Amino acid sequence: MTSQDQSYREQMSIMLVSLAVAVILLGLKVWAAGVTNSSALYSDAAESFVHLIAVAIAVRALQMSHKPADDDHHFGHDKAAFLSAGIEGAMISCAALFIYYEAGRQFFTGVHMENIGFGALLAGSATLVNLLLGGALLHIGKKRQSPVLRANGHHVMTDVYTSIAVLLALALVHFTKWPWWDPVIAILAATNILWTGIKLVRESLSGLMDAAEPETEAKIRTLLDALMKEHDFRYHHLRHRHSGHTHWVELHLVFADETTVHDAHEVATTVEENICALLAPYGRIITHLEPRSAEEKDEVWEGSRT
């Protein structure tokens, strides 16, 4: 099994677990909301319903993003991952708006809660499961550089924060006998959810627009500077983008005019192998070889980026 296949299987396994957990926890939260008549719990259940739909979309996006290149998509289907993250962020934001509505409605109709202890037990159990799942999603998402897993992990963690806020609301209502804690804390939780949703949408747009990744570029430049001390070449026109899980790198390698094509190719291969190893398992490198006598001449097709 290749490292890419192993990465895909690991990501798909945790996403399928996330989908199954989303179904179970939605049932628990709807049950808890029904027995307590809590606005905060209804809001939490609504957020979980949105999350379930988002996870289903994310699973499909993960499958799409790992499809190989074909005649219609020469660079593969990576960007489906960024699209999925954007949809998930938008859905999180919509859930936050629903929570605002539900809390506002309670201010006009009044708060009538019951069975607070049982509802808190159900919500607490769901929170613990989500905390473990969210941590796993974020860890694997970071390790595998997967926008889909990171977005899903952030969504799960917003669910955790919402549930903690709900539990706090239930505790305050129980001990202070002041029912208005329920909609007040629901509004605070919705604000946090909305911020997370907006952040995910912004990150998705940055990925779709090939925004620069300064940290990754700095690592590539550090590697190239080290290789220049071992081999006689210079470089310019370095460009890098991240299309979802694949890192695409382009650069010009400059050699002395008397260097043979064979020798220049050997050095270029070494450079490409080292950069691919740095960006493993999804590194794709394109190099353009040129003599020093042409180094200062800008290619029309490349522009003037250095």
Domain of 258, CATH number, reads: 3.30.70.1350
**pLDDT score recorded for residue 111:** 65
**pLDDT score recorded for residue 303:** 55
With 0.95 as the threshold, say if the pTM is over it. Answer: no
Residue 241 has pLDDT above 60, yes or no: yes
* Among 63, 60, 50, CA closest to 92: 50
CA distances to 96, 109, 126, 131, 150 from 49, in Å: 12, 24, 14, 17, 19
Tell me: do 203 and 225 sit in the same domain: no
**pLDDT score recorded for residue 275:** 95
**β-sheet bridge partners, residue 128:** none
Cβ atoms of 243 and 79 closer than 8 Å: yes
3-state SS assignment for residue 176? helix
Residue 155 has pLDDT above 80, yes or no: no
If you average pLDDT over residues 153-157, what whole number do you get?
82
Residue 112 has pLDDT above 60, yes or no: yes
CA distances to 37, 39, 44 from 107, in Å: 14, 10, 18
Cβ atoms of 149 and 11 closer than 8 Å: yes
Tell me: do 156 and 263 sit in the same domain: no
* Among 121, 55, 89, 61, CA closest to 195: 89
Give the structural domain span for 178: 3-208
Q: Which of 12-21, 128-137, 138-147, 219-228 has the lowest mean pLDDT?
A: 138-147
**pLDDT score recorded for residue 44:** 73
Element holding 39 (H helix, E strand): helix 39-65
Q: Which of 112-121, 154-163, 218-227 has the lowest mean pLDDT?
A: 112-121
- The one-character DSSP state at 213 is -
**pLDDT score recorded for residue 221:** 95
What's the Rg (C-alpha) of the chain? 25
Q: Which of 208, 237, 262 is the last residue of a domain?
A: 208
Return the CATH number at 119.
1.20.1510.10
**β-sheet bridge partners, residue 250:** 239, 286
Query: Is 123 a member of any domain?
Result: yes
Please tell me which residue, 84 or 232, carries the higher pLDDT value: 232
Query: Is 231 a member of any domain?
Result: yes
Query: Is 240 a member of any domain?
Result: yes
SS3 content of the chain, % helix, strand, coil (to 5): 70, 10, 20
Tell me: do 204 and 257 sit in the same domain: no
Tell me: do 127 and 240 sit in the same domain: no
Cβ atoms of 250 and 239 closer than 8 Å: yes
Residue 302 has pLDDT above 80, yes or no: no
Q: Say which residue the tokens 């706090």 belong to.
A: 168
**pLDDT score recorded for residue 45:** 79
Query: Is 228 a member of any domain?
Result: yes
Per-residue pLDDT tens over the stretch 28-75: 888 887 877 776 677 777 777 877 887 888 788 777 777 777 788 777
Tell me: do 162 and 242 sit in the same domain: no
Q: Which of 185, 208, 231 is the last residue of a domain?
A: 208
Domain count, the chain: 2
Name the burial class of residue 131, with classes exposed (0-12), middle (13-18) and buried (19+) by CB atoms within 10 angstroms of its CB. Answer: middle
- Using pLDDT thresholds of 50, 70 and 90, give the confidence band for residue 79: confident
Cβ atoms of 240 and 217 closer than 8 Å: yes
* Distance from C-alpha of 179 to C-alpha of 111, rounded to nearest angstrom: 6
Tokens of 173: 């209502």
Q: Which of 208, 242, 262 is the last residue of a domain?
A: 208
Query: Is 192 a member of any domain?
Result: yes
Tell me: do 126 and 224 sit in the same domain: no
Residue 254 has pLDDT above 80, yes or no: yes
Query: Is 304 a member of any domain?
Result: no
Residue 304 has pLDDT above 60, yes or no: no
Q: Which of 81-85, 222-226, 230-234 has the lowest mean pLDDT?
A: 81-85
Cβ atoms of 4 and 146 closer than 8 Å: no
Per-residue pLDDT tens over the stretch 168-224: 877 888 788 787 787 787 788 788 778 878 888 888 888 778 778 888 899 999 999
| 194 contacts: CB under 8 Å, gap ≥ 6 | 92, 93, 96, 97
Output the average pLDDT for the chain: 82
Tell me: do 176 and 233 sit in the same domain: no
Tell me: do 135 and 254 sit in the same domain: no
- Using pLDDT thresholds of 50, 70 and 90, give the confidence band for residue 271: very high
If you average pLDDT over residues 154-170, what whole number do you get?
80
